[in-house]
Amino acid sequence: MTIIQPNNPLHGLSLETILIRLEAHYGWVDLGELIDIRCFTHDPSIKSSLKFLRKTPWARLKVEALYLSTEF
């Protein structure tokens, strides 16, 4: 059963999709400047960033907020 969430702009987007789109748009260097977290500034990769963001709610919220404020 699928629940429709019309007020959630991130509904249907995985964290991996969000991260891939942000990295493609900004690149790791700019992403690390916009959100100063180690997984973006020191040897960044999608895999390591996902691992960190899934365990760290405050960082995930910052990434999601940046995604929502970015015009692709």
Contact 60, 53 (CB under 8 A): yes
Return mean pLDDT, the chain.
93
Whether pTM > 0.75 for this model: the answer is yes
CA distance 8 to 44: 28
**CA 50 → CA 14, 35, 37, distances in Å?**
10, 14, 12
User: Can you say how many angstroms the Cα of residue 48 is from the centroid of all Cα atoms in its chain?
Assistant: 12
pLDDT at 36: 94
Q: Which domains does the chain have, with CATH numbers?
A: 15-69 (1.10.720.30)
pLDDT at 1: 58
In this predicted model, what pLDDT tens digit does every residue of 53-67 receive, in sequence order?
Answer: 999 999 999 999 999
Write the CB contacts of 48 (distance below 8 Å, at least 6 apart in sequence): 39
